[in-house]
Amino acid sequence: MISIQLLFVLLMYLLGNVLSIVSLYILFTHSGLHRNFRMVVFLLIMFGLLRSFCVYSLAATNYFIETENGEDVKNIVINAFVFAICGFAISSLFLSIERCIAVYTPKDYERYSSRSSLPCITFLITTVLTTVLGYWANKNNENQIPLITVTTAAGFISLIVSFYQFYACTKWD
């Protein structure tokens, strides 16, 4: 039997998925967006979709998979979930940094954001950091402090960058 709490979690992830698909549509149809911004938002959406797929899979393993195979499937899905959380946190951090640079130094941002190599570098750095941090968190899976540290640090840095961005915007007004 699905609990009310699990049902609410699944509905919230479903709502997030619908909004992510709308965001992907906007991302692909509006060519005026900068390439690096597109890449960061695309990574954020993809890691969010992976995270929700893992939640759906974990909820389904209790009902559709046999007990002996269920534990193996759960372990694989939990490992993927940890990678998705790390990737989402790193992508969120990069989005905050990218927006801060765009607001604080608009001339430099306009000059350098049109280069094709910048989204590739962003993708590579995000993928490498996600792989390293996800591996580190999965290796220490009995102790979730590494995962909590990564997500908290990325969120805290994003918050600092956002406050700095807000301060820079209000300073110019």
The alpha carbon dihedral of 110, 111, 115, 121 has a sign of negative
pLDDT value of residue 173: 53
> Residues 96-123, buried b or exposed e (16+ Cβ, 10 A)?
bbbbbbbebeeeebeeebeeeebbeebb
d(CA 95, CA 27): 14
Higher pLDDT, 149 or 110: 110
Please state the domain extents for the chain. Answer: 4-172
Max Cα–Cα distance, the chain, nearest Å: 63
Confidence (pLDDT) at 26: 86
Binned at pLDDT 50, 70 and 90, residue 16 comes out as confident
> Which residue do the tokens 């905050």 mark?
96
pLDDT tens figures, 100-126: 788 778 888 888 777 788 888 889 999
Q: For the CA atoms of 81, 20, 16, 70, what is the dihedral angle to 10 degrees?
A: -30
Match 């490498």 to its residue by tokens. 128
What is the rounded distance in angstroms from the CA atom of residue 73 to the CA atom of residue 69?
6
CATH 3.40.50.970 assigned to domain 4-172? The reply is: no
